[in-house]
A and B are shown apart, each in its own frame.
Chain A
Amino acid sequence: MHLPDVVPSRMRRTLPRTRRTLIGLLVLVTLTAAGCAQDASRSQDNGGADTSTNDSTVTTDAPVTLTLLAHDSFTPSETIFDAFTADTGIVVRVVRGGDAGAIVTKAVVSAGNPEGDVLWGVDNTLLSRAVDANVFTPYVTVHRDDLDAAGVALAPDGVVTPVDSGDVCINYDKQWFAERRINPPLTLQALASANYRNLLVAPSPLTSSPGLAFMLASIAEFGDEWTQWWTTLRDNGVLIVDSWSHAYYSHFTAASDGERPIVVSYATSPPAEVIFADPRPTEAPTAVAALTCFRQYEFAGILRGTKHEAAAQKLIDFLVSRQFQEDLPLTQFVWPSNRNATVPQEFLDYSLRPENPLILDPTIIAARRAEWLDTFSDVVLR
């Protein structure tokens, strides 16, 4: 790109040469010093780690800093790790690296030379991809017996630890349906009905994690017939968009100026609608169709190649401790994995926990995900 071709019309007086040189040097020195300081603190971390690796009984003088890699939706209370640091001397640095697919992909390409020590947020739709790539070092947490058994069963050898769960479900705008005296859709099958023509907006499974869950829900529900259902849905005017936030905040009538009263979202979206509102309404403006829910479990695991394995094990224990787990519902709108954790009343009041959610075995998902996504592209996104 060219800027205007310019040649000065006269020589301008500038700073004396020596002063310019000095300024240049100063800049260089500052930058180098900043770089060195960074390196020094890093190597110090590593030094402290080497002595403690694989031996939790050895204590070291240098504080260990753990890097916790997480997806962008990992938003615990900012001071949550202070108690952990006070107890163990271990500092936790949270690094967010994109959506769940992106962090797993990065973990896979850097397996053995990880970017951090612990990974938060691989879910049951991505689990096998990470496990097959030998991303994790197994560890069985001391809280294992307190955790959601269904979640533990998905990773029985402790390769990862279940940290929370949630459900992806059809949400609808209660007022919209009440005003028109139409019954909202309660099953996936119902969505194919002409009553709901042009009313549904969903994120794409190719670019969105709830979108993927919704596609898997249809596979769990309809088996091999799932593509026919999607064909009907397509002819019935389903709108597929790139992301959950775009679907919810640009098209869903209850949360935007949009024109679609049915959206694919979470079972915990109604409490979020209440808790984030100011002033709070007495009841949620949206509701969930319980029979359409697909359950997502999220896991945390120790990244193979960490230099802080013993410290990382302590962090895993902390992540599934009551203290951390009780922070989850109101910060991330998921259910804790630790069954002893107390769930806040306001969360219970507005949340729906489907009793028999749709599920699929992670190994089947891993084996067929690519094929399913290609099929989805061909059938729905053409």
Chain B
Amino acid sequence: MSAPNVPGQPSPANPGDQPDPVRGVPAGAAPDADTMALRRPPAQSGAARPAGANPTDGPAPPPRSPAGDSAAVGRGAPAGGVAPGGRSPWHPAMLFTPARLRQLGALVLVGLLAAVVTGPTGNSDEPLQAAWDSIADPRIVLFLILAVALWVVLVLWAELRGVLTRLTAPVRAPVGAAYGRRGAPIVLNVVLLAIAIIAPQVVSTAAQQSMVTDIGIYALLALGLNVVVGYAGLLDLGYIAFFAIGAYTTAYFTSQSAMPWHAPFTLNPFFVFPIALVLAALAGVILGAPTLRLRGDYLAIVTLGFGEIIHLVANNADGITNGARGAFGVPHLSVHLLGLDYTWGIDPKPYYYLLLAIVVLVMIAFGRLERSRIGRAWAAIREDEVAAEATGVATLRLKLLAFAIGASVSGFAGVMFASKQFFNPQSFSLQASFFVVAVVIFGGMGSRLGVVVGAVVLQGLAFYLRDKVEPADRYIYFGAVIVIMMIFRPQGLVPSRRRRREIELSEAGIGSADSLGSAPAGGRP
């Protein structure tokens, strides 16, 4: 994808005496070299670029197009007449260009859809009744007002943005400076940790339960999936299957009564952690080895099938897993060592602190992993697999490693989950896998803090919605969150700087941001 007209391409040939065709752009902020690099066709710039080159001499990421331009779902041509950053005198009629009106139309449609989503539940005898009832309800006015208000905000923002960038352009730091700092400041980390420590003391018991089995476990799962999606740039849609492997392994080894099929001896749950870790990693390798040689999207569908099969087996194999009734009576975690006797019981708080400690440790460990040789190799694979391979990175093995590490974290979380509470195959449905993907995407793939925040926010949302909507209906919202994030903020809520830059560069036709091959056709010509 050559990028001769990247939006926001500063044009050094006409530094201001001609009408600038570019909107909302710090003109002249990027040096000439950047312009050249962006103009280079991908055949040269893509394959030949050393992966992970110094950001300061790399090309500047193209500024995102103004909100008014990228916001509307159904927008057609670029908003031709509207030039917030241009020199043409402002006129109210400029608010009502065809593009803006289309944007308004799209927002109204989204408002109607939101009304249907939040509206009454229907049935198959009158299939359209529920949708009609939600639209014919007076509530619709609220949604329409919201849609129009959002449109006004977007339009004003697009207008203001042009003025603001013109005012602040001269004092903008070079783009490279934004990538200089590394990691969140220590103060922020300490504050977040303090909040995480105090939080269970001030909430209800139900919320404490949710903080363990929903937020804590899912934060751990998301950290593991983040290695697959965020670091290696692959997609695993059956991630929860490894979680199930961990949980059933625990039931097998720690209890004689939880499942019909059990070990001839019983182990303390703590000893099951390494077993589950290895088993899950092994399953990951068996699944990944044949698939990872191929295009990355095959991995997604194979893992999807695998996740569904594990769920089916768990649900149907009554003689082994106790089927749909689930495993009941897995012992809680306990320590009996050197005169120390402690059992994690019904109270969620001790579990919470244990999980918190594990999550923090995993975050630290993965932070180091990310900056290690392996982590840098993953970055190289994401950004340009061909170049990485050519410079001696064992791409297949590293991808497999990422997949196995992700799987083992999932298995580990499964042990935690099984020893915390009763479980049945419903906990391992396909939707749970999708939910973990949603957490990672929402939080920000590649960002450890991001995925934990994602788990907190999305599970918090689920907790908040728990008695407001039907449990299954919550997935409507999560699905919408995924699509919206992909359209407007693919880097996530708390983005990883490197990941964001990769996505932006890849959108400008330089390198890629995943290991799934080149972007599909039909992009910006």
- Answer whether A and B are interacting partners: no
- B residues with a Cβ closer than 8 A to A are none
- A residues with a Cβ closer than 8 A to B are none
